[in-house]
Amino acid sequence: MLRIEETERVQELVGQMYEPLSKSPSAQSPSALQQLLTIMASGAGLRSLVQDDWDHLVGKWLVLPLDSAPVESTSVSTVLNGIPLRSMVRQQMIDRPSCIRDIAAIECATFESRSNIEPESLAVLQNYLSPGASDAGVRITGSEKVDRVTLEIGTMLPHEAILTRTLQSTTQLSGRTVLTQNVQRRTVRFTYVQEQ
């Protein structure tokens, strides 16, 4: 990462977007939001966030082979307060599409990483997200994270990233079991313009 252009404008837009929440704290605007705004207010903090994002988009795929054989591993991540969560991770190349840059077709690869929290860690996650909720009949039954990124094979420039987080839970209501699925999806598309 060499630089971010117009950081002041990015900080201004983020500030405008979150200003109402920062002025009236509520359950929808925890203290983590204030920490994010503080980070975004500094150029170094913004660069750090962008560097982490770039590493996630490109760095994690550098060693993955250009074939469809999956690579499986176990991963340990931590939530706030250092609570460890173990996940099974499956990474593989799932497609070899063409991408367009400067009006030319370029050979690309689409990589996917699918991470599922192991059953033993689901109870830990549940207790972290909502302490005591299991007594009220709410039980987390699954948590999956899917990252899908399309990159140029020769340069590793990203063209598209789709990040999906799914949390499944069951709730006991009037003797019935209700399944709930919370899905968050973020799609990012990149375009590249030729220097004038």
Instruction: Provide the residue ranges of all domains of the chain, joining segments of one domain with +.
Output: 1-57, 65-196
Q: Is the pLDDT of residue 133 over 90?
A: no
3-state secondary structure (DSSP) of residue 132 = coil
Run of H or E including 20: helix 7-23
Evaluate if residue 12 carries a pLDDT over 80: no
3-state DSSP assignment of residue 124: helix
Residue 114, pLDDT > 80, answer yes
Residue 167 scores a pLDDT above 80? yes
3 state DSSP class of 42: coil
**Tens-place pLDDT, residues 100-109:** 988 889 999 9
Averaged confidence pLDDT in the chain: 81
Least confident of 28-42, 70-84, 99-113, 143-157: 28-42
Bridge partner residues of 166 (DSSP): 144, 183
Q: How far apart are CA 144 and CA 84, in angstroms?
A: 16
Give which of 90, 88, 164, 80 is closest to 125, Cα–Cα: 80
pLDDT for 28 equals 46
